[in-house]
Amino acid sequence: MEKARKAADGESILGYKETNSHACYMLVGVMRPGEKGHRLRPGAGHEELVLAVKGSFSITGFFKGTLAEGHAIHLAGEQECLLENISGTEAVYVLAGGHPENGHH
DSSP helix/strand/coil, 17: helix
Instruction: Please state the domain count of the chain.
Output: 1
DSSP helix/strand/coil, 28: strand
Confidence label for 21 from pLDDT (cuts 50, 70 and 90)? confident
The CATH number assigned to the domain holding 24 equals 2.60.120.10
Distances (CA, A) of 31 to 54, 65, 98: 10, 18, 23
Strands 57-61 and 91-98: unpaired
Q: What pLDDT, in 10s, does the model give residues 25-70?
A: 999 999 999 999 999 999 999 999 999 999 999 999 999 999 999 9
Q: Note down the domain range covering 58.
A: 2-102
